[in-house]
């Protein structure tokens, strides 16, 4: 089986057990990409949730930062999902091409 990354090294937060940094290596053993998670604690829920995910392509000099919340924007954790929301048809409706 061929994988995109020859090796991954995950660095976990000791309290939450969430991977906060992931080092990804190419087939020649060189570090290729690094991913970082920037979590915050929502004490009133309580949950530790990523407020930002950053992915760095070190070989090509590119990065992608996703999930950044604008000031005043709050994540919603009160959404009720049902099993049928995960059916192939439901997922197809929510997908984008």
Look-up of token digits 């660095």: 11
Residue spans of beta strands (DSSP E) within the chain: 7-12, 19-25, 31-42, 47-57, 62-66
Q: Where are the domains of the chain?
A: 7-94
Q: Is the pLDDT of residue 91 over 60?
A: yes
pLDDT, position 3 = 82
Q: Topology of domain 7-94, per CATH?
A: outer membrane lipoprotein receptor (LolB), chain A (2.50.20)
Higher pLDDT, 71 or 49: 49
Q: Is the pLDDT of residue 1 over 60?
A: no
Reference 51, options 63, 68, 36; nearest CA is 68
Query: What span, in angstroms and rounded, lies between the C-alpha atoms of 56 and 61?
Result: 8
């Amino acid at each position: 089986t061929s994988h995109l990354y020859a090796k991954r090294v995950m660095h976990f937060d000791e309290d939450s057990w969430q991977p906060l940094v992931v080092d990804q290596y190419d087939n020649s053993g060189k570090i290729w990409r690094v991913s970082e998670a920037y979590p915050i604690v929502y004490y009133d829920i309580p949950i530790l949730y990523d407020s930002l995910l950053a992915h760095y392509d070190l070989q090509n000099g590119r990065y992608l930062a996703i999930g950044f919340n604008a000031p005043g924007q709050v994540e919603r954790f009160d959404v009720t999902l049902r099993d049928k929301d995960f059916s192939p048809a439901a997922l197809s409706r929510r997908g984008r091409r």
